[in-house]
């Protein structure tokens, strides 16, 4: 190791080990989330759920391992083909294109984007409006992505064409995320065209939309882009401020690629501030992270920056080594912008080391590429019109000024000394009057500006208040829309009323979730001549409880529908083991309490197995609390198998299955729990009523008991006349 490198390492070893530990923790956290998704994928028998799991796993791997990302997005694409869903296939293909772009495989990326766009054309012919809109969304995303690749390949007309096409579609369907993406792309494009103020306008437009939808990942990228625009304007203070804001968000998001980008950009700022040792430390750390990710384009940039740092520190041998590596990689991936920059850096290096021929060669190449990238063909027509307008305006002003000067000269030659004296006196009077007018006008203008500024402050506060109100309302609506959609999905998995009536004609269901979605569920299935019905209480309520209910229903379906297990106790044993294997490896005790009943439609024999919750049988005016195992379906203190019970009943008896939500509800005059004893007495009191009337009585009694107090849990109660 060189002496300088050893000193640099010692100086920055604290930074190095801090980030080394951070990256390890990041990998562990991300891997844990990915493992959870893999378990959901393995457990689910719903193909759309499995497709979504694969897509999210692939997205997560984009920050960890790009080869794995390609693998999972490809599996999602194969599943979409199996489902004959061209829109989902297009989305998966588009993501494979993005994976290849990150790998530096530009031509492959473009091929995948073109394939995705062709697939969405078929989606636009579908009758379903929601599918057509989704096809438009995928098309806009693919167009924006391909625009980015064309820009990297310096094909600016195609890049701008795709960006504007994508932005138009995004505005048509009201998709803020895609509008943001293309606004950001245009900001980058103007930045590269060296119109940095216009780039900032697009970046800040994008940032305002991002704040509305609270997309922290994209906010981190945009903040970094704003920092870069300020860097180009040589506003180093603002540049560093926005890079640091971006770094904070990327650390929160555990986005290693984003952290690497921020470090590289901060290195640029330190280089401008002539703190080259600090710049070198940042660039070396950024290179390590990007090499780990396999991001060739970013590695190329980091190598070039390190070469610059060494050159500034007069370590020309090391500088040349890193610049040549960057130059070779830029040629390999076809990044024209980095080829141009490396020509410039090498020209400077060879000039400093007195290798004139090499310096001249690289400088000529740099000029050629620079002129090509800034040629009139690549500038927008609006810029050309603006330049022409400014030129015409200046030419007209110059001609008027010249004519006036000639006229003034002729008058002076013809005027006598007396006239000149008189004119001079008049001019003095005129100038004095004009001076008074100017002073007075300035005072009035200054007062007007102060008044306007005060008015603007008030208006801005009002606008900001209204904007914040709109953001909160929009966010709340988005959350409620998502949860209501989840409710529709959950209710399709519950036992349908028609299905229950077909197999147990005399029944009622009282189902009252605490929130929009529920951890309680009731489920039924017919297997041969045996009808199964379950009433269960999953761990938690609301969204977490609903997620658990989805898993529990999936495992019950697997046990009876796929494995063909018939005895209720063995079904619960199977489901418990599946839960332990999939979500209880690290000590979690998630699962459910519940009752699973089997009615043999040929023999009329009724068997059941129960976990913590006991069935209630009312026969001859008496209450019978049937047996239950005091352990959950899931990880618990006890490990023995569930018991199988047979129900001895008479025709006309009523069987009640319920969870703990009704009995545990606080209310009444003293704010106490309803209690199981009182609930069973209530069931006995209403037992002679028709079943549909029983459901109404139970609902009214619950609401009256609860009163103004908050409902504390989901409620599920089913009655069956035997």
Higher pLDDT, 455 or 601: 601
C-alpha dihedral (32, 34, 39, 44), degrees to nearest 10:
150
Instruction: Give residue-wise pLDDT tens across range 297-312.
Output: 889 999 999 999 999 9
pLDDT over 70 at 9, yes or no: no
Higher pLDDT, 418 or 519: 519
Average pLDDT in the 353-379 region?
77
pLDDT over 90 at 685, yes or no: yes
pLDDT attached to residue 384: 39
pLDDT attached to residue 458: 59
CB 693 within 8 A of CB 653: no
Tokens, residue 534: 């379950």
pLDDT over 50 at 178, yes or no: yes
Q: What kind and span of H or E run contains 357?
A: helix 356-373
Q: What is d(CA 117, CA 95) in angstroms, rounded to the nearest whole number?
A: 12
pLDDT over 90 at 523, yes or no: yes
Domain boundaries 163-254, CATH class:
mainly alpha
Higher pLDDT, 642 or 455: 642
Q: What is d(CA 284, CA 315) in angstroms, rounded to the nearest whole number?
A: 15
State the pTM of this model. 0.41
pLDDT attached to residue 682: 94
pLDDT attached to residue 532: 96
The structural domains of the chain, with segments of one domain joined by +, span: 163-254, 407-491, 494-721
pLDDT attached to residue 393: 40
Instruction: Give residue-wise pLDDT tens across range 463-473.
Output: 556 556 666 66
Domain boundaries 494-721, CATH class:
alpha beta
Q: What is d(CA 205, CA 171) in angstroms, rounded to the nearest whole number?
A: 14
CB 60 within 8 A of CB 256: no
CB 292 within 8 A of CB 256: yes
Maximum Cα–Cα distance for the chain, whole Å? Answer: 136
- Domain 163-254 and domain 494-721, same fold? Reply is no
CB 520 within 8 A of CB 556: no
pLDDT attached to residue 290: 85
pLDDT attached to residue 533: 96
pLDDT over 60 at 78, yes or no: yes
Mean pLDDT of the chain: 81
C-alpha dihedral (90, 92, 93, 99), degrees to nearest 10:
150
| β-sheet with 715-721: strand ranges across | 507-512, 715-721, 654-658, 616-619, 622-625
CA 645 to chain centre: 50
pLDDT over 90 at 339, yes or no: yes
pLDDT attached to residue 280: 94
CB 665 within 8 A of CB 673: yes
pLDDT over 60 at 576, yes or no: yes
pLDDT attached to residue 466: 59
Instruction: Give residue-wise pLDDT tens across range 89-99.
Output: 999 999 999 88
Q: What is d(CA 590, CA 587) in angstroms, rounded to the nearest whole number?
A: 9
pLDDT over 60 at 8, yes or no: no
Q: What is d(CA 706, CA 526) in angstroms, rounded to the nearest whole number?
A: 37
609 sits in the region (left: phi over 0; alpha: psi -120 to 50; else beta) called beta
At 642 the three-state DSSP class reads coil
Q: What kind and span of H or E run contains 645?
A: strand 645-647
Cα–Cα distance list, 624 to 301, 344, 477, 652 (Å):
77, 90, 47, 15
Q: What angle do CA 264, 267, 273 make, to 5 degrees?
A: 155
658 has which bridge partners? Answer: 717
Cβ-based neighbours of 458, under 8 Å, separated by 6 or more: none
Q: What is d(CA 164, CA 513) in angstroms, rounded to the nearest whole number?
A: 47
* Strand-strand pairing, 622-625 and 507-512: unpaired
pLDDT band at 19; cut points 50, 70, 90: very low
């Amino acid at each position: 190791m060189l002496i300088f490198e050893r000193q640099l390492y010692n100086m920055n070893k604290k930074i190095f080990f801090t980030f080394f530990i951070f990256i390890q923790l990041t990998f562990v956290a991300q891997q844990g989330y990915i493992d959870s998704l893999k378990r959901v994928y393995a457990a689910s028998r719903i193909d759309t759920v499995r497709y979504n799991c694969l897509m999210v796993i692939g997205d997560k791997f984009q920050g960890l391992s790009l080869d794995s990302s390609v693998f999972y997005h490809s599996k999602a694409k194969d599943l979409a083909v199996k489902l004959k869903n061209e829109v989902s296939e297009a989305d998966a293909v588009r993501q494979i294109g993005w994976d290849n772009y990150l790998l530096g495989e530009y031509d492959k990326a473009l091929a995948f984007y073109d394939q995705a766009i062709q697939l969405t054309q078929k989606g636009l012919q579908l009758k379903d409006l929601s599918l057509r809109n989704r096809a438009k969304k995928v098309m806009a995303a693919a167009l924006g992505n391909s625009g980015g690749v064309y820009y990297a390949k310096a094909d600016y007309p195609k890049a701008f064409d795709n960006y504007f096409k994508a932005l138009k579609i995004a505005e048509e369907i009201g998709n803020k995320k895609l509008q943001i993406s293309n606004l950001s792309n245009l900001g980058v494009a103007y930045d590269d065209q060296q119109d940095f103020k216009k780039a900032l306008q697009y970046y800040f437009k994008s940032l305002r939309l991002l704040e509305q939808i609270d997309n922290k990942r994209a906010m981190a990228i945009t903040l970094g882009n704003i920092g870069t625009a300020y860097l180009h304007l040589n506003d180093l203070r603002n540049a560093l401020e926005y890079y640091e804001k971006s770094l904070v968000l990327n650390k929160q998001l555990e986005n290693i690629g984003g952290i690497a980008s921020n470090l590289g950009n901060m290195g640029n700022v330190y280089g401008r501030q002539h703190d080259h040792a600090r710049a070198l430390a940042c660039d070396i750390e950024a290179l390590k992270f990007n090499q780990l990710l396999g991001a060739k384009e970013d590695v190329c940039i980091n190598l070039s920056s390190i070469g610059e740092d060494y050159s500034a520190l007069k370590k020309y041998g090391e500088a040349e080594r890193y610049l040549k590596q960057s130059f070779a990689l830029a040629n390999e991936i076809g990044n024209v912008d980095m080829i141009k920059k490396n020509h410039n850096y090498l020209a400077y290096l060879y000039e400093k080391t007195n290798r004139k021929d090499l310096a001249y060669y690289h400088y000529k190449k740099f000029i050629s590429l620079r002129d090509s990238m800034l040629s009139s063909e690549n500038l927008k027509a609006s810029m050309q019109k603006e330049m022409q307008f400014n030129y015409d305006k200046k030419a007209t002003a110059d001609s008027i000024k010249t004519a006036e000067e000639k006229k003034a000269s002729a008058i002076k030659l013809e005027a006598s000394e007396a006239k000149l004296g008189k004119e001079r006196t008049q001019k003095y009077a005129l100038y004095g009057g004009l001076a008074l007018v100017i002073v007075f006008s300035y005072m009035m203008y200054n007062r007007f500006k102060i008044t306007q500024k005060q008015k603007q402050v008030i208006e801005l506060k009002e606008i900001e208040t209204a904007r914040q109100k709109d953001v909160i309302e929009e966010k709340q609506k988005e959350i409620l829309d998502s949860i209501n959609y989840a409710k529709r999905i959950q209710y399709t998995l519950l036992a349908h009323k028609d299905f229950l009536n077909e197999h147990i004609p005399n029944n009622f269901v009282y189902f009252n979730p605490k929130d929009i979605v529920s951890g309680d569920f009731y489920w039924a299935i017919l297997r041969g001549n045996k009808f199964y019905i379950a009433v269960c209480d999953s761990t938690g309520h609301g969204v977490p409880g609903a997620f658990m209910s989805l898993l529990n229903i999936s495992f019950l379906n697997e046990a009876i529908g796929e494995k063909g297990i018939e005895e209720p106790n063995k079904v619960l044993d199977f489901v418990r083991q599946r839960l332990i294997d999939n979500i209880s490896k690290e000590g979690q005790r998630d699962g459910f309490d519940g009752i699973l009943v089997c009615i043999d439609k040929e023999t009329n024999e009724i068997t059941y197995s129960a976990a913590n919750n006991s069935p209630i049988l009312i026969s001859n005016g008496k209450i019978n609390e049937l047996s239950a195992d005091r352990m959950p379906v899931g990880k618990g203190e006890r490990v023995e198998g569930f018991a199988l019970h047979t129900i001895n009943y008479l025709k006309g008896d009523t069987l009640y299955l319920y969870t703990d939500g009704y009995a545990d509800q606080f209310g009444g005059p003293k704010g106490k729990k309803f209690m199981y004893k009182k609930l069973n007495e209530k069931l006995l009191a209403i037992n002679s009523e028709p079943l549909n009337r029983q459901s109404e009585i139970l609902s009214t009694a619950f609401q009256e008991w609860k009163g103004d107090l908050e409902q504390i849990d989901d409620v599920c109660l089913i009655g069956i006349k035997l």
